[in-house]
Structure 1
Amino acid sequence: MYAITIPEPGGPEALVWAEVPDPVPGEGEVLVEVAASAVNRADLLQRQGFYNPPPGASPYPGLECSGRVVALGPGVSGFSVGDEVCALLSGGGYAEKVAVPVGQLLPVPEGVDLVTAAALPEVTCTVWSNVFMIAHLRPGETLLVHGGASGIGTMAIQLAKAVGARVAVTAGSKEKLQHCAELGADILIDYREQDFVAELREATDGAGADVILDIMGAKYLDRNVKALAVNGRLAVIGLQGGVKGELNLGALLNKRAAVTATSLRGRPLTEKASIVAAVREHVWPLIAGGHVKPVVDRTLPMSEAPAAHRVLEESGNVGKVLLTP
């Protein structure tokens, strides 16, 4: 088969479409013929040599895909050859085929085509696990989403609105904020021109955000704590603004607030399977009912993965960038 390889870490040009051995499904795995994959910022880090796959995972980038089941490994049940699926991966999505643990497979949701389904696994699992399973966002609460026009952001807006929460977003342009508003965002903050702490407090009568979904890490840590409401929960899922920051424990204590930081890729198979099962139970009906939709910025051939990486590096996307073999 062909896959995107990384012979040497570097810029987008380090991604090479090359012939490689076919994967073989092991115990509890299925082999998926890939219809599409999607680009995540973790892929950019892997390309640069900063985020290696966990032990035993595929060496090729790609943390999600959609496609058809073409073979079953030993001990697999619940899926059959020919099923249309999408999957959460530890790697290997930028390829013509990938072996997937059966617990990380999802049926393609009703009303979504096979290629577009590749936009769903990573964002739905990330948002549901952090905003709902860990931070327990409730109806009537306020969620602040940094990077509201990203793949994660566009899904977080929709899921929060679907459960009856109020949503604030930050983004870097009026155009991106308009896209967020069309998805249901209530409070729109241009981080290039506005102080998100002041804007959020004004919009919430001084209360702040009950839950913050943060992709920036250190750069926003102090301001995020200031923006939290009493009993607020800060969920850090990205480190685009650095890995080390100063945390004011007194401010956190006074607000009885909490900070969590998680990633999906390195979690044990059992944890991933639990998250995928929760997404199938809670999110898939919302998609089938038309309340939540995948947001796709563009679709490119997988051989043009370098161009797709440049789009993300320049923050030129609203929603997901997909790749097709």
Structure 2
Amino acid sequence: MKGIQVSSFGESHVLNYVEMDEPVLGDNDLCIRLKATGINPVETYIRSGNYAALPSLPYTPGSDGAGVIEKIGKNVQGFHIGERVYVSTLTGHGTGTYAQKIVCDVGSVYHLPEEMSFEEGAAIGSSGFTAIQALHQKARIQPGEIVLIHGASGGVGSLALQLAKLCGSKVIATAGSEQGLAMLLALGADHVLNHREPDYLQNLSFLTEGKGVDVVIEMLANRNLQNDLDVMAKEGRIVIVGNRGDIEINPRLAMNKEIQITGMLLANMTPEQKGQNAHRLNAALTHGVKPIVEQIFSLAEAKLAHEMVIKQRGSLGKIVLTID
């Protein structure tokens, strides 16, 4: 089979499109013939070698994908050959989703709704589970609360917006371009703000009727965390999903308002939480929540896709690779 193999850490040129051995099926596994794979920013950090936990070389990147079941382990129930599925796994058996096939355990495979394309399915996994983990397990979102989503036009943010609205929240969402702001309004945001404009948060007091924000889903804490503290309501909750450096904050604001600041990492999600979140995500998908696919490349163009991910740009959803 064809796939992407990384034999040394470095820039995007280390993503080599090669012939690979097919993965071996275990008794509790499924073999998926992948039709598309989703690209996550963390995969660019791992590829470059700038990440805390690095895989053994050589490796195939990717944890998200969608396709058709080709083989089923003898202990697996609830699936059948030919069924459309999406996968979200951190542990392929020697191979990730940047390949024509992947073998993964049954707990990492989910039914793909018929109305969704394989490209959309490939954009669900990590982004969807991150958004749900942030909103439910970490922020403990409640109906009627005001939620600020920083960087809502990306893969995680666009799903978090839809999920928060589904919970009955009022959502204030930020993006860095007019196209991004228009997309957020189309997804149901109550108010949108351009985070590239100076003092873009100055109207939050008016938008929240002087109360402040109950929940912040933060994609770039090293830039925004102090500003988040400034606009929080009493007993508000900030969930840090993304960060790219250091920041100095005034903890007095967290003390005065009794604000909770919580970090999260998808890899820390327990099997119990993953099971709960899978049910939440399935229910959301059946009620119209859909990932946004910004651009599609072929598997052989993985280098170009990675270069696009790391550019300083206003994201408009997820970048996906199609697989022949």
Q: What per-residue deviation string (whole Å, max 9, x for no partner) do you get for residues 207-254 of structure 1?
A: 2221111111222222222222111111111113x1x33343322122
Match for 1:296 among 293, 296, 307?
A: 293
SS in 2 for 1:115: helix
Change in CA separation of 1:139 and 1:110 when aligned onto 2, cut-off 3 Å: farther
Q: What per-residue deviation string (whole Å, max 9, x for no partner) do you get for residues 238-295 of structure 1?
A: 113x1x333433221221211111111x336xx1x434433442232332233x1221
**Identity of aligned pairs, percent?**
30
Change in CA separation of 1:199 and 1:176 when aligned onto 2, cut-off 3 Å: same
- Once the two structures are superposed, the pairs formed by residues 182-197 of structure 1 within 5 Å of their partners are 182-197=186-201
Instruction: Calculate the aligned-residue CA RMSD, in Å.
Output: 2.2
CA distance in 1 between counterparts of 2:110 and 2:167 reads 22
Q: Determine if the alignment matches structure 1 residue 127 to structure 2 residue 125.
A: no
Change in CA separation of 1:202 and 1:27 when aligned onto 2, cut-off 3 Å: farther
SS in 1 for 2:148: strand
Change in CA separation of 1:8 and 1:84 when aligned onto 2, cut-off 3 Å: same
Contact 2:65 2:97 in 1 (8 A): yes
**Residue 209 of structure 1: aligned partner:** 213
**Residue 274 of structure 1: aligned partner:** 272
SS in 1 for 2:34: strand
Change in CA separation of 1:48 and 1:209 when aligned onto 2, cut-off 3 Å: same
- Once the two structures are superposed, the pairs formed by residues 1-325 of structure 1 within 5 Å of their partners are 1-26=1-26, 28-51=28-51, 59-73=59-73, 75-90=75-90, 92-240=96-244, 242=245, 244-264=246-266, 266-267=267-268, 271=270, 273-290=271-288, 292-314=289-311, 315=313, 317-325=315-323
CA distance in 1 between counterparts of 2:221 and 2:280 reads 28
Deviation, 1:108, is 0.2
Deviation, 1:166, is 0.8
Matching residue's letter, 1:66: A
Deviation, 1:27, is 5.1
TM-score, normalised via structure 2 length: 0.90
Contact 2:129 2:278 in 1 (8 A): no
Contact 1:89 1:100 in 2 (8 A): yes
Change in CA separation of 1:120 and 1:287 when aligned onto 2, cut-off 3 Å: same
Deviation, 1:22, is 1.8
Contact 1:58 1:90 in 2 (8 A): no
Q: Tell me, which stretches of 5 or more residues in structure 2 are unaligned? A: none
Q: Tell me, which stretches of 5 or more residues in structure 1 are unaligned? A: none
Matching residue's letter, 1:255: K
CA distance in 2 between counterparts of 1:53 and 1:98 reads 21
CA distance in 2 between counterparts of 1:222 and 1:316 reads 22
CA distance in 2 between counterparts of 1:259 and 1:4 reads 38
Contact 2:154 2:315 in 1 (8 A): yes
Q: What per-residue deviation string (whole Å, max 9, x for no partner) do you get for residues 136-160 of structure 1?
A: 1111111111111111111111111
Contact 1:148 1:177 in 2 (8 A): no
Contact 1:110 1:288 in 2 (8 A): no
